Amino acid sequence: MEPIPNPPRWADRLLEYFVSDRLLEDVQGDLYEIYQRRAKMVGIAKARREYGWNAVRYINPFFRSYKSNHDTQPLFSTSMIQNYIKIALRSLWKSKGYATINILGLSVAFCICTFLFLTAYNQLTFDSFHADKDRIYQAYLFFNNPDKPERRGQLPLPFVPAIKAEYPEVEAATRFVNERSLIEYKDKSLDKVIRLVDADFLKIFSFPLIKGNRQTAFQELGNIVLNETTANALFGTEDPIGKQIQLKDNGETKSYIVTGVLADAPTNSTVRYDVLVRIENIPGYHSRQNQWDDFSHTVYVKLAENTDPEVLQKKLKSFSQKYFAPTVETLKKKGARPDQRGDIAAVRFQNLSKLHFDSELSGGPPVTVVYVLLGIALFILLIACFNFINLSIARSFTRAREVGVRKYLGALKSQLFMQIWGETTVVCFLGLMAGVVLVVLLVPEFNAAFDGKISLNYVLQPGVIVGILVMFLFVTLLAGGYPAWQMSLFNAIEVLKGKITLKRPGFLRNSLIVTQFAMSCLLTCCTILAVQQTDYLRSVPLGFEKEQIISIPVGNKYEGRQVLQRMRNKFANDPSVIAISGSNVNLGRGKDNSTSRAMVGFDYKGKNITTDWLLVDYDYLKTLNIKLLNGREFERGYAADSVDKVVITESMAQALGEKQAVNSYFQVDSGGTKYQVIGLIADYHLYSLAQKKSPITMHISSTEGISYIFVRVAPQSVKTAMTKMRDTWKEVAPGAEFIGSFVDENVDSWYKSEEKMSQIFSIASLVAILLSCLGLFAVALLVVEQRTKEIGIRKVLGASIANLILILSKDFLKLILIALAIATPLAWFGMQQWLNSYPYKIQINAWVFVGVGVAAVSITLLTVSFQAIKAALMNPVKSLRSE
């Protein structure tokens, strides 16, 4: 074959490269070991000697024939893999900017995804650590009310003894009641929540017993079991077993013998405890143990093996008819009809594995919240992957000649794919390691900001490790697989002739951009709406003035009424204190992080009435500045006020059906006290606006304990009020911890979950926007590279910079508009479903979506314009020559 008479410059450069030492250094990962050693000496010399300038056409067939003679060699040897890694590191080092952008984006994505994944893991694994979790259920009552069905988790005290005695399918059962008490041992005292349970508690739940005997820990009524934290706080290094401690509640002191120490309950446990004692120690137990209308506690049961809960629930029909007959009759009078199962009232079970997400029974979050977190994590990960793909394709221009040379030296497509995909794996691994470092460093901040329960120990769980590995493999395959496959398909001859061009915008690239910005716009819309809803909840009038009120939890060291009277005496002549009162229910969630609720139900003229039963003290209305509509409030001059007088809200009056509610009478218990309504007040929110306002009945008692003291201070004294209260507390309750807080701050804490959701959406949308802009920047770079010659020609023909920016940007703007068209209805539908769970909610405003659209278009123009202006300012002569 005749040599080419006038070889082109590319051939000269190629052959010069062939005979240089850089050849073997760069392509050894694509050749066999023996092929690497002899390539320069035999192959190139022979090709150049026999074929001259046509060596380019024949060197590839030569090496392929050489390869076929050595087909016993493995496809990928160990040394070749090592060379792949070496060349990948060298390539990344040469392109530090590209590598930094990818590693940074992936590390942030991995970090956020890990946090969200661990949060979801913590939620989804609630109560999964119990040995017999499939046989553990919470019992509840179902009432098919005429307006809507009701599920009540509070059961009467005789329920457990009766169901255990009559149904052998119930292997074990325990009641669960909370009481706050002061624990004393020698000179130490702790204010703790006491859990009153049955002896079967340790038979149902498999919390590890560190010290003591599981069979005898609750053998006697005077036995007490502590968790590890409480035991260490009380006893230190001393062995607590057999020691006597005292529980002090409302002035009464009882002694108990420590018979066990339980490990602290995991953070993903529905059942939590500090101290456990037998439920028979609850005040008034003997008088209440046969009252089937006293709904006061939670019940957990463990069914015998091979027991079908559905079958047992059918057998319990007679149980319900026997013990809840009065309730059934009342419901029938109200027009209740049997449900699909034929029940008006029934005992039913909810499995422990589903209990956490049953907000009606456990107060936990809906499972959709967890899926939203996982969806956000997936969004962030996909956006990072799309960026990687776009940057890799953009960078493929600079590597086209390298790929062409490798193909002509005999490299197979599979080898090229492995080489380029290997680089992706290195980048992803570095990004993963950087993400793990960020997770380790930011765990405390994450838990503090979102009240999270994330522990680094979760990372060592098999499920989490598998999840991280799957996430890593997913990213490497998705982000590295397509660019590697695309570059392995380059036409080698066209590449070496300098004619390589990538296709103009295709379906995949456009899809990536649309998906990225659709996700970003979706998260941004959700963020704005979540923030608006949270702000709205905080702005809704509560029916009382929350400003200038200090709430002080009394605790259990002193009797609440005594402390309240001491504070009244202390501030009797202080003009900075307007009013002082007390209650058994806090306003908002204070620093003691405790909340309580007492409700009573009774029949009144054929109606079933349910009301909040609120204990208050004198001056309660004055302290909260609640408007009295009719009648009078509680007064010290009327002794009977603390016996049988109540003040009710408007909604309670409506429930009674009395036009003139004042001076009307009703009974809560048949044959019990007949209460007289002496005052009518406007409705107010005693609890979060996530719940509707319910009827409230206020009463005063000289015997029931006051748990919270409220102090309204003068406006000019707000700044110094908290310091004054703290100093006064040391005098009226020496030794008791002062944990007072302003009521307006307590009310804000009602909306922590909404605020957390807003923060998560905010961070996710910000990261999504930044990553999307990074990907858009890479695509803009790719487009400018593709259209360099076109830009030069347009500029020579008189196009202005503004025209060039418009030409280069209009295609991207179309994609952003498509993304908005996809994101807007999804955001509207999803947030509307979320808002429907609130009785008080905002109306979604179309301007939210318009604002997000304008912001998306503006960000797109700014991102694309940078590259567009750079290309427009380029010398057109240089642009045309570069093509």
DSSP secondary structure code for residue 619 in this structure: T
**What pLDDT is recorded for position 413?**
66
Q: What is the pLDDT of residues 339-357, one digit of tens each?
A: 888 888 899 999 998 888 8
The residue ranges of DSSP E strands in 113-239, in sequence order, are: 136-144, 149-152, 155-156, 170-185, 188-197, 209-212, 223-227
- CA 41, CA 60: separation in Å to the nearest integer? 16
Phi/psi at 603 (5° precision): -95, 135
Phi/psi at 671 (5° precision): 80, 0
Query: Is 260 in a helix, a strand, or coil?
Result: strand
843 class by beta-carbon count within 10 Å (0-12 exposed, 13-18 middle, 19+ buried): exposed
Considering only CA atoms, which of 221, 215, 224 is closest in space to residue 260? 224
The most confident of 90-104, 442-456, 696-710, by mean pLDDT: 696-710
Q: What is the pLDDT of residues 791-828, one digit of tens each?
A: 777 777 777 777 877 777 788 888 889 999 999 999 99
- CA 80, CA 678: separation in Å to the nearest integer? 92
As given in the structure block, the two tokens for residue 248 are 């002090």
Q: Give the DSSP H/E element, type plus range, for residue 392.
A: helix 367-408
**What pLDDT is recorded for position 312?**
92
Across 245-254, 634-643, 684-693, 869-878, least confident range:
869-878
- Does the pLDDT value for residue 7 go beyond 60? no
Parallel, antiparallel, or unpaired: how do β-strands 645-649 and 674-681 relate?
A: parallel
As given in the structure block, the two tokens for residue 196 are 């009153």
- Does the pLDDT value for residue 524 go beyond 80? yes
Across 411-415, 417-421, 579-583, least confident range:
411-415
Q: What is the pLDDT of residues 821-847, one digit of tens each?
A: 999 999 999 888 888 878 888 899 889
Q: Taking residues 159-188, what's their average pLDDT?
A: 90
Q: Taking residues 240-250, what's their average pLDDT?
A: 86
Helices then strands, each counted (H, E), the chain: 33, 23
CA dihedral sign, ordered 49, 50, 53, 54: negative
CB atoms within 10 A of CB 710: 23
Greatest C-alpha distance within the chain: 125
- CA 465, CA 833: separation in Å to the nearest integer? 34
pTM: predicted TM-score of the whole model, two decimal places: 0.70
As given in the structure block, the two tokens for residue 16 are 């010069």
Parallel, antiparallel, or unpaired: how do β-strands 708-713 and 577-583 relate?
A: antiparallel
CA 803 → CA 331, 682, 862, 878, distances in Å?
75, 66, 15, 20
590 alpha carbon, distance to own chain's centre: 22
As given in the structure block, the two tokens for residue 868 are 């567009």
- CA 578, CA 712: separation in Å to the nearest integer? 5
**What pLDDT is recorded for position 46?**
47
As given in the structure block, the two tokens for residue 161 are 């003894």
- Does the pLDDT value for residue 132 go beyond 60? yes
Mean pLDDT of the chain: 79
**What pLDDT is recorded for position 411?**
61
DSSP secondary structure code for residue 279 in this structure: G
343 alpha carbon, distance to own chain's centre: 37
413 alpha carbon, distance to own chain's centre: 44
As given in the structure block, the two tokens for residue 790 are 């076109």
- CA 166, CA 173: separation in Å to the nearest integer? 13
As given in the structure block, the two tokens for residue 504 are 């103009």
Query: Is 182 in a helix, a strand, or coil?
Result: strand
Query: Is 429 in a helix, a strand, or coil?
Result: helix
**What pLDDT is recorded for position 602?**
79
Q: Taking residues 727-735, what's their average pLDDT?
A: 87
* Helix residue spans in 736-872 (DSSP H): 743-748, 752-786, 788-796, 801-835, 846-872
Task: Quote the crossing angle between the two packed helices 96-124 and 413-450, to the nearest 10°.
Answer: 50
| pLDDT above 70 coverage of the chain, percent | 80
Q: Which residue has the higher pLDDT, 608 or 529?
A: 529
Considering only CA atoms, which of 711, 716, 743, 745 is closest in space to residue 728? 711
Q: What is the pLDDT of residues 737-761, one digit of tens each?
A: 888 899 888 888 887 777 777 777 7
As given in the structure block, the two tokens for residue 805 are 């920016």
DSSP secondary structure code for residue 681 in this structure: E
- CA 674, CA 643: separation in Å to the nearest integer? 10
- CA 361, CA 293: separation in Å to the nearest integer? 19
Strand partners, 706: none
Confidence of residue 31 (pLDDT cuts 50, 70, 90): very low
**What pLDDT is recorded for position 5?**
42
Locus of tokens 């989804």: 124
Confidence of residue 173 (pLDDT cuts 50, 70, 90): very high
Q: What is the pLDDT of residues 350-406, one digit of tens each?
A: 999 888 888 778 777 777 778 888 888 888 888 877 777 776 666 665 566 666 666
Considering only CA atoms, which of 304, 153, 132 is closest in space to residue 202? 132
- CA 32, CA 28: separation in Å to the nearest integer? 8
- Does the pLDDT value for residue 29 go beyond 70? no
Confidence of residue 780 (pLDDT cuts 50, 70, 90): confident
CA angle at 392 for the pair 390 and 396, rounded to the nearest 5°: 115
Considering only CA atoms, which of 752, 747, 751 is closest in space to residue 589? 747
CA dihedral sign, ordered 284, 285, 286, 289: positive
Q: Taking residues 148-153, what's their average pLDDT?
A: 83
Phi-psi region of 570 (alpha: psi -120 to 50; beta: other; left: phi over 0): alpha
> What count of residues does the chain have?
883
The most confident of 43-52, 183-192, 484-493, by mean pLDDT: 183-192
Q: Which residue type does 370 have?
A: V
641 neighbors 608 (Cβ within 8 angstroms): no
127 neighbors 268 (Cβ within 8 angstroms): yes
- Does the pLDDT value for residue 881 go beyond 90? no
Considering only CA atoms, which of 639, 664, 643, 635 is closest in space to residue 652? 664
- Does the pLDDT value for residue 70 go beyond 50? no
**What pLDDT is recorded for position 495?**
55
Considering only CA atoms, which of 15, 87, 791, 69 is closest in space to residue 423? 87
